[in-house]
Every structure is written in C-alpha cells, then in structure tokens.
Amino acid sequence: MGDIKTIWAPWRMQYILSEKTGVCIFCDLPKQDKEKDRDNLLLYRSSHNFVIMNRYPYNNGHIMVVPYFHTPSFDGLTDETLLDFMKVTHYSVNCLKKAFMPEGFNIGINIGKVAGAGMEEHIHLHMVPRWAGDTSFMTVFGEVRVVPEHIMSTYDKLFAVFNP
C-alpha cells in the first residue's frame, strides 16, 4: 500500500456540496445575465457558440468552446453553427497564444461517456494550452496536476484578450 496523497483543492468543495439540479450548465449559464459571466467563467459569446473556462482545469488556461444548441454530438448543428464553432476555436487559439504564449495545444472533443465525456449530453471542445515541462514529476509519479495561477486571475487575463 502506497503513501496517502494530499491535494489542496478548496474550490472543489463548492462543487461537492452544491445542489445537483440536473440542469445542463452549458444551456443555463449563457442564458444568465451577462453581469454573471465572470462568476460563471464565461469568456466570450459569438452568434452560435461561447467560450467558457473549465472550472477544474487540466492546465492553466483550459477553456471550452460550446454551441448554444443542446446536442450530445454534431447532430442537429447547422452549417452556420459548425462554421462558427471552428472560427471561435481558431479565435480562442489566437487569444490563448496572446495571453500565455503556449508552445502547443491539446484540442479535442469527447463524444460519449466511454470516450471520456464528463458532460456527455452537450457537445463541447476542450482546449488546453501546453508548455515544455508542464508535465512534471507531480503528474507522472503523484498523479497530481499543478495549475500555477488562481482561476479568477486567469479569467481576468483571458477576458481582456477575448474582448479587447
């Protein structure tokens, strides 16, 4: 039996204790007043999609591009939505480059629970900026990720770049 690992993640407690309503957050959050965008980590709104930060990021600057239309896959998305989806993805890459100068990106869509979709009922694209050495011994040996900046500081930097 190995040593017990302790990870300090106080932001998780709010999620753990929160009431689970069964409401799709990707449908609900963009419908809320724009004054709540910072609290909701919503960075950018386009005509058919929005960009939101991942509240439990894999790395600093982990964001998601999400269509407003509720669907678990590409089914039902119009050509306009799909084109806008890719344009917003491209814009997001450029914004992350400007804000953080990453050396690369992991960009992907998980469709279905077996593919790793945590929110399988609403399709979304994950974008994770990467830097040489950001996978340290903590990840390899301790199965722990180190996110070097508070999420709200990251939000403020990204919001200014997404909305000049």
% of the chain beyond a pLDDT of 70: 78
Cα dist. 13→16, 36, 42, 129, 160 in Å? 5, 21, 21, 26, 28
Beta bridge partners of 104: 130
Mean pLDDT of 77-84: 98
pLDDT of residue 7: 46
Query: How far is Cα 106 from Cα 26, in angstroms, rounded to an integer?
Result: 21
**pLDDT over 90 for what percent of the chain?**
63
pLDDT, tens digit, for every residue of 16-49? 566 666 789 999 999 999 999 999 999 999 999 9
Please report the DSSP string for 55-118 in residue order. SS-SSTT-EEEEESS--SSSTT--HHHHHHHHHHHHHHHHHHHHHH--SEEEEEE--SGGGT-T
pLDDT tens, 90-101?
999 999 999 999
Fold of 11-162: HIT family, subunit A (3.30.428)
Domain-wise residue ranges, the chain: 11-162
Non-local (6+) Cβ contacts of 91 within 8 A are 44, 162
